[in-house]
Amino acid sequence: MTEANTLLQQAESQCYTKGVRFTPIRRRVLELIAENGGGLKAYDLLDQLSTEHAAARPPTVYRALEFLIDQGLVHRIESQNAYVACACPEHTHGFQLLICRQCGYVEELHLDAISDKLAQLAKQQGFNVERQTIELQGLCQNCRESGA
């Protein structure tokens, strides 16, 4: 079973448990993102979807993305305005993304101590954190070894 298939099965199960609809379009958007391995932009998704669904329009893609983000199935890569499948959708804490600037590979980390410490420091300043995005950009091991 591929990683994308595993993520899709987890997503179906999670949506069923939460009582939310995992429509065919939402499923396909998640599948396309999961198969990509790196960040995928909304209009790249639209291009791929429109070959399969003639009625696919930007609002269709953005609504699906919004749903997937709300359910914790997809993360937005703020620096690239792109989307990546969540490697661990059952994890409810913060996350960090390692992004290779050469090949676009994205890896998700779950260093809860970092997220918790930042939230604690913010709270000491009277600030309530609603969303936290930590992106680390550099070169992945493969790109470093290939000398790219």
Q: Quote the CA–CA distance of 81 and 143 in Å, as a whole number.
A: 22
What pLDDT, on a 0 to 100 scale, did the predictor assign at position 89?
76
pLDDT the model gives residue 8: 92
Confidence of residue 1 (pLDDT cuts 50, 70, 90): low
Residue ranges of the chain assigned to CATH 1.10.10.10: 3-85
- From residue 36, alpha-carbon distances to 40, 77, 141, 145 in Å are 7, 14, 19, 22
Q: Residue 132: pLDDT band by 50, 70, 90 thresholds?
A: confident
Share of the chain above pLDDT 90, in %: 69
The second-level CATH assignment, the architecture, of 96-146 is 2-Layer Sandwich (3.30)
- pLDDT at 148 exceeding the cut of 70: no
pLDDT score for 38:
80
The pTM for the full model equals 0.86
**Which helix (H) or strand (E) element contains residue 99?**
strand 96-100
Q: 3-85 has which fold? A: Arc Repressor Mutant, subunit A (1.10.10)
pLDDT digits (tens, 9 = 90+) for 21-78: 999 999 999 999 999 878 899 999 999 998 888 778 889 999 999 999 999 999 999 9
Question: pLDDT by residue (tens digit) across 66-116?
Answer: 999 999 999 999 999 999 999 887 776 788 999 999 998 999 998 989 989
Q: What share of the chain is helix, strand, coil (3-state, %, to 5)?
A: 50, 15, 35
Band (19; pLDDT cuts 50, 70, 90): very high
Confidence grade of residue 125 (pLDDT, cut at 50, 70, 90): very high
